[in-house]
Amino acid sequence: MLKTKKSAKRELILTEAAKLFKDRGYSGTSMRDLAGQVGMEAASMYNHIKSKDELLDTICFRISDTYISQLQDIEQQGIPFSEKLSSLVRLHIRLMVEDGAAVSVANHDWKYLLEPRLTEFKQARKTYEKGFASLIEAGIATGEFRPINVSVALFTVLSAVRWVELWYRPGRGLSAEELESNILTVLLGGLEQR
């Protein structure tokens, strides 16, 4: 019971840290700011976390680990490459909708990670991009996708879904599922072989 309460408090601290880092930036957020946000004394927070650096590390790697595990799951599925790409884009959007603050931190504040974690995070990003690019390459090779430059396709897709973290809010008259469908219609309509 005590461990569950401590875990819940830690999760609250991580959630609120992600929101503050997104709004103020990692360097613009103090531990005092975070303590005020979660209703604790700054000194008491150290019962749940070691440092602000640990918060950033946990947020960034939680997001990168999620993206990589989703990619690996999709790679294993015996479905057409267009469906794999569609599933991956949907998962990107869903993570942004459900945990937009943490995604924003992982996208923008990762550069404040301390070594060796900074290098590990950069490698995780490269691994993910390579895997994503491989799906596009394989789709081109099978004739499912048009023969275009893989890097252009990869970074166009990733850039095209990145704005979701900034724009999407419940109440915009669009459900998360409708948002996914609209984005996929625009993105993949240009990739799929006719």
Is residue 86 within 8 Å of residue 154, measured between CB atoms? no
Average pLDDT over residues 158-166: 86
CATH 3.40.309.10 fits 1-49, yes or no: no
pLDDT band at 164 (very low <50, low <70, confident <90, very high): confident
The tens digit of pLDDT for each residue in 77-121 reads: 999 999 999 999 999 999 998 999 999 999 999 999 999 999 999
Domain boundaries, the chain: 1-49, 52-188
Tell me what percent of the residues of the chain surpass a pLDDT of 90. 70
- Please tell me the pTM assigned to this model: 0.89
3-state secondary structure labels for all residues of 150-177: HHHHHHHHHHHHHCHHHHCCCCCCCCHH
Q: What angle do CA 117, 120, 124 make, to 5 degrees?
A: 135
- Tell me the CATH class for 52-188: mainly alpha
Q: Which residues contact 179 (CB under 8 A, 6 or more apart)?
A: 93, 97, 164, 168
Q: Which residues contact 104 (CB under 8 A, 6 or more apart)?
A: 18, 21, 22, 165, 166
The tens digit of pLDDT for each residue in 120-152 reads: 999 999 999 999 999 999 999 999 999 999 999
